Structure formats: structure tokens, C-alpha cells
């Protein structure tokens, strides 16, 4: 489905309203993406000051979510959209919820950076977290690109990528549990590493959700809780 399908209304004002909510979602997504990038940078650089600074910015994301949600509510009440337009508004409402939650997880990561400044540069677990962070950053970037281009194929690729992030999280969690059992003095540190990995895994889940909304927007199909092969068949990408 091309973006132009959302812009052939008699009311030019309605066209502008739909395009505005789409652009605001992408603006919110850009802000969330920046917060995540900085939070990960704080972990990698063991920069507690940077982490705390970005954690304090979460209120901006929350304000954007409320503003977009109010605009969508007004469109539903005054325009009574149908078909593709209704799917767009629904997808926007769901997407901003996931973006807000990504912002919350980025805030957690940034806050934890202040506790991971000691001996945080050389151990294997820290490097594994960096690898996982890169995977999650790519998922979020691709999910937002798929939303921007209304591209179901790219969205499906993000859904498929979530499995790799889940596997990476499981590996980190198991490794941290083993190390905590070997040395009880390390429990707090490896709990913090596990919490960072868990926050990243949840961000991956939210990026996957956003991609599922894109597929719903394009095909009108709800693919939640459906296996990848079944999804491909359902939307004709076999």
C-alpha cells in the first residue's frame, strides 16, 4: 500500500490531518531513537552523567504521546474515518504507545549506566550487551523506516529479527546467573547487566509490535501471535 492512498479525500483539511499525525509519529520515533542511542552510549562509555541526563528527558516523549493521542481521538470523533484511514489512525495510536514504552526502557538503561561504571569496559558480558544493543537499534530504525514508507516487507523483516534478540537475551541472562553463583560478590553488578539486557529485549518486542501495526495498516491483517510462516502466507509473502 502506498502512502498516496491516504491522501485522496475531498477535504484537503482531512488530508493534512492524517499526514500530520503520521509525521508526528515519525518525529516522536526520532526522539525515542535518539534517547535509546544516547542511553546505549552511556552504557558503552560507562558515562553515568550522560545516562542520568538522558533519563531526565523522558517527559518530552510522554508529552508527545499525549498530544498525538488527543489528535487521533479528535479525528475519530469529527471525521469518522473508514477503511485504510481508520487503520492508519488505529496504527498510530498503537504505535505511539509502544514508542512511549521504548522511551521508558531507554530511561531504565540510562539510569543503570550510573551503576555500571566500575569495571564496565572489558568483560564478555558487557560486549555481549553491546552486540544486543546494536541489534535492537537496527530493529527500531527499520521499524520506523517501514512505518514511514508503509512497507510490509520491511516490517516483516523486523518481526523476524526479534528472534535473534530473544536468543541474545537468553544467552546473557544464563551467563549472568552462572557468574553470580560463582561469585556472590558480583550479584549486584550482574543483576544490573541482566536488567539492561532485559530492557533491550523489551525494546525489541516493541519494535516488533510497531512492525506488526505496519502490516495491519497495509493488509488489514492482525498477525499478532501468528508464526512467521503463517504470517507470510496470510499476507501473501510466501
Q: Is residue 3 part of a domain?
A: no
Q: Is residue 2 part of a domain?
A: no
- Which DSSP string corresponds to 164-215? HHHHHHHHHHHHHHHHHHH-GGGHHHHHHHHHHHHHHHHHHHHHHHHHHHHH
**What CATH number is attached to the domain comprising 231?**
1.20.58.220
The radius of gyration of the chain from alpha carbons, rounded to an integer in Å, stands at 20
Q: Is residue 29 part of a domain?
A: yes
pLDDT of 129 higher than 50 = yes
pLDDT of 12 higher than 90 = no
Q: Is the pTM of this model over 0.85?
A: yes
pLDDT of 76 higher than 60 = yes
- Nearest of 95, 126, 103, 121 to residue 37 by alpha carbon: 103
Is the model more confident about 232 or about 79?
79
Total domains, the chain: 1
Count the neighbouring beta carbons within 10 Å of the beta carbon of residue 18.
22
> What is the structure's pLDDT at 26?
97
> What is the structure's pLDDT at 236?
65
Amino acid at each position: 500500500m502506498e502512502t498516496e492512498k491516504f491522501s485522496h479525500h475531498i477535504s484537503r483539511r482531512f488530508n493534512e490531518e492524517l499526514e500530520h499525525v503520521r509525521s508526528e509519529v515519525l518525529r516522536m520515533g526520532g526522539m525515542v531513537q535518539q534517547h535509546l542511542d544516547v542511553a546505549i552510549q552511556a552504557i558503552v562509555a560507562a558515562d553515568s552523567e550522560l545516562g542520568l541526563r538522558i533519563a531526565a528527558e523522558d517527559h518530552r516523549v510522554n508529552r508527545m504521546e499525549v498530544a498525538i493521542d488527543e489528535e487521533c481521538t479528535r479525528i475519530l470523533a469529527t471525521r469518522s474515518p473508514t477503511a485504510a484511514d481508520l487503520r492508519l489512525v488505529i496504527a498510530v495510536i498503537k504505535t505511539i504507545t509502544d514508542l512511549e514504552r521504548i522511551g521508558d526502557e531507554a530511561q531504565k538503561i540510562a539510569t543503570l549506566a550510573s551503576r555500571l561504571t566500575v569495571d564496565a569496559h572489558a568483560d564478555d558480558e558487557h560486549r555481549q550487551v553491546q552486540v544486543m544493543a546494536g541489534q535492537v537499534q537496527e530493529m527500531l530504525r527499520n521499524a520506523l523506516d517501514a512505518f514511514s514508507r508503509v512497507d510490509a516487507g520491511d516490517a516483516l523483516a523486523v518481526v523476524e529479527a526479534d528472534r535473534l534478540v530473544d536468543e541474545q537475551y537468553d544467552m546473557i541472562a544464563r551467563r549472568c546467573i552462572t557468574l553470580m553463583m560463582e561469585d556472590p560478590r558480583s550479584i549486584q553488578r550482574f543483576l544490573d547487566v541482566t536488567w539492561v539486557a532485559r530492557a533491550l529485549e523489551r525494546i525489541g518486542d516493541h519494535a516488533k509490535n510497531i512492525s506488526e501495526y505496519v502490516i495491519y495498516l497495509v493488509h488489514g491483517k492482525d498477525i499478532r501471535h501468528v508464526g512467521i510462516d503463517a504470517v507470510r502466507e496470510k499476507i501473501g509473502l510466501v
